[in-house]
Structure 1
Amino acid sequence: MFTISARLNPDVINIHPPQLFGPFAAAHLFDFDPLVCPSSMTHLQQARATHVHCHSFHSCGRPHCRRPGQGHGLDGWQVLSLAVSALPRSRRSGSARDTCETRAVWLRSQRSKRSAELLVDGDVHSMQEVREAIGHLERQRWSVSTKFFGPPERARNKKWEKFFVEMDISFQPVCRSALPLHEPTDVAVLSAMLNASSAGIDCVALLTSDTGFIKTLVEIQHSGTSCCAFIPESVPAVFRSFEVAGLPTIRLQKDFESNLGSKVRAILHQDGSGSVELADPFPQTSSKVYISRSKVVTDFLDNLGYGGQGYTIQSIAKFWFTNNLGNLVVYPPTIGLNAMYEIVSEQRCASWGRYSDVCKLAFILPIVACSSSKKHVRMYGNACSRRIFEGEGPFILTDSLEMVPQALNRLGYLDDGLNADLTEAMFCFVNASYNKGSLRKAGMLPIAGDKVLDVQSKLRTAFLSNDFSGLWQRQKSCLRHSRVHLVQQILVRAGVLCGVTSRDICQREVFEGMKLYVRKRGLPSMQTFNGLLWRILRHTKKNDSTKTLEVEL
């Protein structure tokens, strides 16, 4: 039995039972095509209802609720007319010919629904982002299959386990420890992308926050397979990189993030030092404007030797510093781009200083590894902005044999006290999660057999290169820092340290306690505070498969 009840207060239309509509309604109830249902056009012209509640289906056939009119903004009477026209003629009045015609239309609609495979880089993305990406593809009438690549522990999480079943997602476990010098999740996703393309999938879709997939996705697109990328709005630089590469890109908005933009300003001063401050939210610039201005600026800077490739903010910062133009906002990078664009647009006949191989520069914008709650997002604008604010500001260094020690000193890995060993400072730097990921993607991680000078040379090249964003993770070793406080608790429980508050303990006492703990546990000996801190924290997570193996020097 088929019933339709319409209530105008509120304006609601209920359609029962949903099973009568079958796959035809699943494909067309919310994505109306007048060529499929021409008989409903007269009803569309009379549409007046404003709200509809009804049933739709996932591509796998599971019923679920979706917002009315999602896709093309249909109102209540429009959806009602589509529902009625979707029914076989045998359930209404009409001839056998009408029934055959309706069946033919239904078959054509099913043949037009092509397959899409959504691959999720599951290291950083939320359920809401995955759900939104699937929903977008389904609204575009793709038959979607989803593969989620992440650590094995993810499937044992009750919330994620339920989510995978609900959304019919195929979970692909990736053990981090298997490939210590690679991004194992990236390797697995890249392999799946190529397999999907060769298997005849009509569309390869990717949910990621990483630019490392661009080259492969472009190659797949050139082979004739449709492609698209879903990028969170919290990584605008990644979004623009995909757009510049000519890939269809969809921006995903996090449910609790501010839509007004970053409230943090990172300022590079004329003397090469820097600072951070809070300001009014900076609205996002449209991608079209950004790409247009970026092209003008990079061409200008390339002609002066600052490099037109890589991260534009690197070239801008070095040009600004070389020509003594005063302070420059380098984050959000769009502000720096706009300032540089104004100079280029003025077409001044100034004798701009060219970039010299004799006097190369390293631009560094420190960040701190920290999580962000909703409160932090409201305060700073987004998670990345908070990490940059905690990093305490950018700086520029002039190239020299001592540049790497200088950079490590400014980043908190090297000092004249308890962290005076350069080798251990480099060890801690390359094993910091963000730094290790950046170096690995560029193929510049130290490998077995590298000597100290080899590692120093790689870091020097990385600091000077425009192929890096300039973001490097800094080390915080003060007793108030959460990592140090955690180690204090470990030492107290192990009985090698007395006192439980930072007021009762000095850094030297914590240092001696860590040395004793390492000896008792048989861990590799370290000579510095940062090195011991890293060893102990790593030991507490030795069974965590989400961690890649350390890089030993």
Structure 2
Amino acid sequence: MEIAMDVLELCKQAQGDKIAGVAIASNDLDFFEVLERTQSQGMKVWLCMRAHSRSQSGISPLAQRAAADAGVEIIVYGQTIKEIPKMVPLISIHDCIAKVHGIRPVHDDLRSFPDLESLSLSLMQYGYLAANQVAMATLVAATVKFFHVNKLGPLIIDPHTIGFHQCLAAFQKNASATWLTNPGNLIYVHPRGRTRSSRSSSKIIAQGPFIVQDSTQLVSEILDRLGYSSPELNLQETIDMFWDGNIGFLKRRGVSVATVEGEQKLEALEREFRLDLPQDWHPPRSDVNLRDFLLGKGFLDRKDALREQVKLAIKKFLQSRGQSVPPKRSYLQLVADALNVVNKDDPCRRI
């Protein structure tokens, strides 16, 4: 917000020809709107973004599309990692479920980037990738689906370069094989911020990447696998929770979130989940750091307290901040409410 206000001030100064343009260094796509408005004032604008390791061009496909729509030039800085370390935590996927393998040694032949052009062409041949899909995340999804459909066993998805090597080797070693084509009914979901080595194994397995088959229950199945389902919530309430937690990402995908309400959200999610775009959504907000906060403030006696005890502690905390607590609020909703209050009181905390 402060950056946006500074840019507006610069626009005023520019009226006296003191400022020629504005450059913002950030990977936050929300700044496109700020720069677009700045550009309408006759100023030159740039968004400087750190190279995106999951894109061959260094820029994510969403950023490319947003830049084109806003008419903003992107300047990429930094370098993507060309080689992975000799020892890394590995995560694989097999039979639609992710599994953590811990830190393992990586053979030198698998540490560098493989021939992505050759891999892409092979996946295109069998319908797993379209010619206009250059995003690294889309290539990962295509590789996962190819392995799953052809029953090739566990595929390493983190670091994804190892999985690319695996897939490329399968094509090269079985050049004359008759591979099964993409059935077109599989959705690969990669929850955001849940598969890095800094996360606990239980979190990765419970809310890690997964594959689902398209069906009439697609939305409820994906939301359940992401961790949004709760006995206390009906489907519409579950959708609302997911919507609120992913509203920024939905906007960047082109969803008019301001005009979509009620049951229309279900239709919108059915459409978005079936699109051949990266399905990397936020799972529900974790209560881990919130438990620490409540413990430190005296609202909770133990960090490993039962959910019902944490629920009571959250209600007491919210009431102490003058917040009303609806009687039928679910645990997941209360966690989100409490985190919103904490972050509003101290934006630097961001628990």
- Alpha-carbon separation, structure 2, partners of 1:515 and 1:322: 47
Percent of paired sites with the same residue: 16
1:386 is aligned to: 198
Of 214, 227, 230, which residue of structure 1 is paired with 2:77?
A: 230
Deviations 1:148-191 (A, max 9, x none): x94779xxxxxxxxxxxxxxx989799xxxxxxx9532323456
Contact 1:305/1:354 (CA < 8 Å) preserved in 2? yes
- Equivalence for 2:261: 450
SS across alignment from 2:344: coil
Question: Residue 396 of structure 1 aligns with which residue?
Answer: 211
TM-score w.r.t. structure 2 length? 0.69
Could you tell me which residue of structure 2 aligns to residue 533 of structure 1? 335
Aligned partner letter, 1:353: L
Match runs of 1:59-78 below 5 Å = none
Name the CA distance, whole Å, in 2 between partners of 1:340 and 1:442: 29
2 CA distance for matches of 1:205 and 1:329?
33
The answer to whether the 8 A contact 1:150-1:173 is kept is no
Greater alpha carbon shift after TM alignment, 308-317 vs 512-521:
512-521
SS of corresponding position for 1:413:
coil
Corresponding position: 1:474 with 2:283: yes
The answer for the alignment partner of 2:302 in structure 1 is 501
The Cα offsets for residues 387-417 of structure 1, whole Å up to 9 and x where unpaired, read as 596533422111223232222222222134x
1:492-522 per-position Cα deviation (integer Å, ceiling 9, x unaligned): 4xxxx5x52235x421122234345546724
Whether the 8 Å CA contact 2:226–2:283 is kept in 1: the answer is yes
Q: 2:124 aligned with 1:299, yes or no?
A: yes
1:188 aligns with 2:12: no
Distance (Å, rounded) in 1 between the aligned partners of 2:291 and 2:125: 47
Partner residue in 2 for 1:427: 240
> Which residue of structure 1 lines up, in the alignment, with residue 49 of structure 2?
207
Aligned to 1:407: 222
Tell me the distance in 1 between the aligned counterparts of 2:33 and 2:331: 35
How many angstroms apart in 2 are the aligned matches of 1:462 and 1:297? 26
Residue 361 of structure 1 is matched in structure 2 by 186
Rg larger for: 1
RMSD: 4.4
Distance 2:112 2:25 in 1: 38
Q: Secondary structure at the match of 1:482?
A: helix
> Which piece of structure 1 moves more, 529-538 or 514-523?
514-523
Cα deviation, residue 429, structure 1:
2.7
- Point out where structure 1 has 5 or more consecutive residues left out of the alignment: 1-122, 124-148, 154-168, 175-181, 237-257, 370-382, 548-553
Tell me the distance in 1 between the aligned counterparts of 2:233 and 2:33. Answer: 37
Tell me the equivalent position of 2:18.
Answer: none
1:152 touches 1:173 (CA, 8 Å); kept in 2?
Answer: no
Deviation at 1:528, TM superposition (A): 0.8
Rounded to whole Å, the distance in 2 between the matches of 1:151 and 1:387 is: 33
Question: Shift in Å at residue 262 of structure 1?
Answer: 7.6
Are 2:171 and 1:344 aligned?
A: yes
SS in 2 for 1:320: helix
Aligned-residue offset at 1:229: 1.7
Q: CA deviation at 1:534?
A: 0.7
Deviations 1:108-165 (A, max 9, x none): xxxxxxxxxxxxxxx9xxxxxxxxxxxxxxxxxxxxxxxxx94779xxxxxxxxxxxx
Distance 1:228 1:172, change over 3 A: closer
What does residue 17 of structure 2 align with?
Answer: none
Q: How does 1:27-426 map to 2 (within 5 A)?
A: 150=3, 183-189=29-35, 206-208=48-50, 209=52, 211=60, 212-215=62-65, 228-231=75-78, 233=80, 260=85, 263-269=88-94, 271-277=95-101, 278-280=103-105, 285-286=112-113, 289-301=114-126, 304=127, 307-308=130-131, 309=133, 311-346=138-173, 348-357=175-184, 360-368=185-193, 384-386=196-198, 390-392=203-205, 393-416=208-231, 419-426=232-239
Structure 2 match to 1:512? 312
Q: Which amino acid is the alignment partner of residue 540 of structure 1? A: V
Q: 1:273 to 1:436 in 2, by over 3 A?
A: same
Residue 445 of structure 1 deviates from its aligned partner by 6.4
Which of 456, 459, 465 is the equivalent residue of 2:269? 459
How far 1:217 sits from its partner (Å)?
Answer: 6.4
Q: 1:424 to 1:387 in 2, by over 3 A?
A: farther
Q: 1:484 aligns with which of 283, 286, 291?
A: 291
Aligned residues: 314
Confirm or deny: 8 A CA contact 2:86 2:111 kept in the other structure: yes
CA shift in 2, pair 1:440/1:350, >3 Å: same
Distance 1:273 1:264, change over 3 A: same
- Which whole-Å CA distance do the structure 1 matches of 2:229 and 2:77 have between them? 39
Q: CA 1:426/1:261 → structure 2, altered by over 3 Å: closer, same or farther?
A: farther
SS in 2 for 1:345: helix
Q: CA deviation at 1:295?
A: 3.4
| Conserved? CA contact 1:328–1:336, under 8 Å | yes
